[in-house]
Amino acid sequence: MTNILPQLTSAAAQAARVARAVTPEQLTGPTPATEWNVRALANHLVLWSGYNFELRARGGMVSEELQQRDFTADPGWAEDYATRLDLALAAWADPEAWKGELKVGDSSMPATAIAALNLLELVLHGWELAAATGQAFEPDDSVAETVLGLVEEYAGMYRSFPGGFAEPLPVAGDAPAFERALALSGRDPRWTP
């Protein structure tokens, strides 16, 4: 895998834009991820694509205490998230961040794979947050094509996780890349609250 920092940067800008438009009234609403409401989804996105992604660039990982935090309880959570995304991108701008292996549970993964999985977090959960709050999430062609390739590569792994990808949904073969990526990950591209 090549360095996907441009795609991560573009996806982070979309995720930050979507987060900034979430209103307090929407936090209890449903999302395409049926086990989560908007608050839980936003907290997941902030934790893993913001805090954890920055720490992973340095070989670290979020603490159990941080995993229990309700980021959305802070009125400035969306701006804090945007700042955290900037910090994460700055950390991954260091070529050293892309080298070697990072611990994941009892095993390890290449740093490039960790970055790829973070792109999926940003885009797939960013889309869910947008859909749940009546917004658009429209990645550029480079992001959409990269995400489609990553969903194809990692779908089996994600389906083995509790709460991971659902079974793929039908979609036209000539549908846009992002629509195919959503459907392959078990998400309905036409979902509405």
pLDDT in tens, 45-89: 999 999 999 999 988 999 999 999 999 999 999 999 999 999 999
Q: pLDDT of 118-132, one tens digit each?
A: 999 999 999 999 999
CA atoms within 13 A on the CB side of 26: 18
Return the structure tokens found at 129.
Answer: 């947050």
> How many other C-beta atoms lie within 10 A of the C-beta of residue 110?
14
Q: Is the pLDDT of residue 1 over 60?
A: no
Residue where the block lists tokens 């309700």: 70
| Higher per-residue pLDDT: 156 or 28 | 28
Q: pLDDT of 138-178, one tens digit each?
A: 999 999 999 999 999 989 888 888 778 889 999 998 999 99
Q: What percent of the chain is predicted at pLDDT more than 90? A: 81
The domain made up of 5-184 is a member of CATH 1.20.120.450: yes
Confidence of residue 2 (pLDDT cuts 50, 70, 90): low
**Average pLDDT, whole number, for the chain?**
94
Would you call 69 exposed, middle or buried from its count of C-beta atoms within 10 A (0-12, 13-18, 19+)?
Answer: middle
Give the whole-angstrom CA distance, residue 50 versus residue 165. Answer: 21
DSSP assignment of the chain: ----HHHHHHHHHHHHHHHHT--GGGGGSB-SSTT-BHHHHHHHHIIIIIIIHHHHHTT----HHHHT--GGGSTTHHHHHHHHHHHHHHHHTSGGGGSSEEEETTEEEEHHHHHHHHHHIIIIIHHHHHHHTT------HHHHHHHHHHHHHHHHHHHTSTT---PPPP--TTS-HHHHHHHHTT--TT---
Predicted local distance difference test score (pLDDT) of residue 153: 93
- Identify residue 10 by its one-letter amino acid code: S
- Averaged pLDDT for residues 9-20: 98
Q: Is the pLDDT of residue 20 over 80?
A: yes
- Averaged pLDDT for residues 34-45: 95
CA 163 to chain centre: 14
Tell me the domain boundaries of the chain: 5-184
Predicted local distance difference test score (pLDDT) of residue 107: 84
Return the structure tokens found at 46.
Answer: 């902030």
Predicted local distance difference test score (pLDDT) of residue 181: 97
Predicted local distance difference test score (pLDDT) of residue 90: 96
Predicted local distance difference test score (pLDDT) of residue 33: 87
